[in-house]
Amino acid sequence: MKLEKPLVAAGLMFSLTVGAVFAASHADNPFAAGIKARQAQMQIQSFNLGILGAMAKGESEYDAEAAVLAATNLMHAVSIHQPQAWAPGSDNSAVEGTRALPAIWQNFPDVGAKSAELKAAAEEMKAVAGTGAEAVGAAMGRLGGACSACHKAYRAPAN
């Protein structure tokens, strides 16, 4: 099998290159843990929003207890105030592994207003989550709108 050697060599070259890039991005990025934490917060928001969204659309059966739990978790997740996870210099023009736009750090009042709107929308959802799929659906518009308003302004599109 004459082909094997070049293939093995190519594979080794590839893993060495990937390894070097990985090591460099971590060594150069003191914000890696904070970025991971803020993305994890977003994931928890998204997970719970998804549970409510599926019930609102009838993709999963409405369950009052599960809806209230998801809305409660969502409210807690959006209430996490963790400025250390949003350190200046941790934007996508400066470091790898984030879609946070530099504009966040230039528009604190607006970012704060968008966060406050999200909290208000999450509270509204929690107040009605136990009352039926229709109510969950009605509260979903404001909630989903609050997520996407901030993403449009402050999150880079996915590659």
Closer Cβ to ligand HEC, 76 or 99, answer by number: 99
- For position 151 contacting ligand HEC by CB under 6 A, the verdict is yes
Among the listed residues 32, 37, 39, 135, the single contact to ligand HEC using CB under 6 A:
39
Is 75:122 a contact under the CB 8 Å cutoff?
yes
Distance CA 68, CA 136 (A): 10
Q: Residue 71: which of 18, 119, 7 has the closest Cα?
A: 119
Q: CA-CA distance, 21 to 10, in Å (whole number)?
A: 17
Closest CB 145 distance from ligand HEC, rounded Å: 9
CA dihedral 111, 113, 116, 117 (to 10 degrees): -110
Least distance to ligand HEC, CB of residue 25, Å: 14
Q: Is there binding between residue 94 and ligand HEC (CB under 6 A)?
A: no
By beta-carbon proximity to ligand HEC, the closer residue of 20 and 115 is 115
Single residue of 60, 72, 107, 115 touching ligand HEC by CB under 6 A: 115
**What is the rounded CA–CA span in Å between residue 51 and residue 1?**
53
Q: Is 95 in the site for ligand HEC (CB under 6 A)?
A: no
- The answer to whether 91 and 116 have CB atoms below 8 angstroms apart is no
* 56 in Cβ contact with 136 (< 8 Å): yes
Instruction: Identify which range of 52-60, 62-70, 97-105, 125-133 contacts ligand HEC by CB under 6 A.
Output: 97-105
Binding residues for ligand HEC, rule: CB under 6 A, are 35, 38-39, 42-43, 45-46, 49, 98-100, 111, 114-115, 118, 146-147, 150-151, 154-155
